[in-house]
Amino acid sequence: MLHINFYTWLLPLVFISSMIGVQKDNNDVLFCYGKVKPSQIKNYNYVILESAQFSSVDIKLIKKTNKNVLAYVSIGEINKTSKYFKDLKNLTLGKNKNWDSYFLDIKSEKTKKVLIGAVQESINKGFDGMFLDNIDNYSKFGPQKDDDKQVVQFLKLLSEKFKNTIFIQNSGIDFLPQVSNYIDGVVVESVASDYSFSTKKYGLRTETDFNARIKTINDAAAKYKTKFILVEYADTKLLFDKIAVRLSKFNFNFFVGKIDLQTIPNYTSKK
C-alpha cells in the first residue's frame, strides 16, 4: 500500500493525477489497491494496482484501454497479507505501526531474491512496470537510513535485470543524484493535502508548507529531468476541490483518493 512516510524529510513523493469529476487534461492517473472490475478502469495514462487482485486476463483487458499499467511492490516493508510474508518474516527489522507492516532487510540476498521474484511475477502477468514503494525509508531520516547504499544498488540491479520495464519510485528525492538513470518517475504524497494518522482526519497543508514542497519538486524535476506524480488524500468533495485548485497552477499529474486507496474515488457528488 502506498504509505505516507513520517520518516522522510519535509517532502513526500510526487505523482499527481486528477480524479473523476474534474475536467482537466491531466486526469490520467489511478492508484487503486482494492479489487475492482477491469471495465471500471479506463483512459488512464498510468494505472497502479495490487497485482494479487488481478489475473493475467484482467491485466490484458485493462491494458486495452489504459497506457501504462504498473504493479505495486514495497522495497522497504512487508505486511502479513503478502504472499511473500512467510519467506521474509524472519528477515524483518522492526515494525511500522501506522501500517502494521515490517521493515525489510535489503542487505539480505534472500530479501533481494524474493523481491526480484515478485517483480518477475508481475511482469509475467502482463504489467508494464512497477511502482516501488517505501524508498524514503532509506533516506537520511528514515528507519532504514543505514542501508541507503544498498537500496541504490538494488534499484540499479532492477533496471539492469528488467530492461524496457517502467519503474516509478515512491518518494526518495534525496536519491535522485544516484538513481535518476534507473527510474522513470517519482511519486510524492501529500504535497497539498495533509492526513493525520493520529486523528485520522484529512486536511490541507499551510500555504507556506505547500509552496516549499512544490519548489523542492520543481527544482528536482528541472535538475534531473524526472517525471513527478503527486498523490493527495481527501474524503470530501469540498477538500478535493481545494486540492485541485491548489494544484491546477502547476504542470503536474495528480491523483486524489482516500488514504487506504482501496476504491476508485468519485468526488462528483456534494458532501
Q: For residue 9, tell me if it sits in a domain.
A: no
In the prediction, which pLDDT does 99 show? Answer: 76
Count: domains in the chain: 1
Query: Which CATH number does the domain housing residue 143 bear?
Result: 3.20.20.70
Q: Is residue 269 part of a domain?
A: no
Per-residue pLDDT at 4 exceeds 60: no
Q: Output the pLDDT for position 186.
A: 97
Which tens digit of pLDDT belongs to each residue from 61-109? Answer: 999 999 999 999 999 998 888 888 888 888 888 888 777 789 899 999 9
Classify residue 148: in a domain, yes or no: yes
The pLDDT value recorded for residue 5 is: 37
Is the residue at 177 inside a domain? yes
Q: Is residue 102 part of a domain?
A: yes
Task: Identify the domain containing residue 163 by its residue range.
Answer: 29-257
24 is a domain residue: no
User: Is pLDDT of 21 > 90?
Assistant: no
State the pTM of this model: 0.87
Encode the chain in three state secondary structure: CCCCCCCCCCCCCECECCCECCCCCCCCEEEECCCCCHHHCCCCCEEEECHHHCCHHHHHHHHHCCCEEEEEEECCEEECCCCCHHHHHHHEEEEECCCCEEEECCCCHHHHHHHHHHHHHHHHHCCCEEEEECHHHHCCCCCCHHHHHHHHHHHHHHHHHCCCCEEEEECCHHHHHHHCCCCCEEEEECCCECCECCCCECCECCHHHHHHHHHHHHHHHHHHCCCEEEEEECCCHHHHHHHHHHHCCCCCEEEEECCCCCCCCECCCCC
For residue 22, being part of any structural domain is answered with no
- pLDDT score at 211: 96
Residue 202 in domain: yes
Residue 179 has pLDDT above 90, yes or no: yes
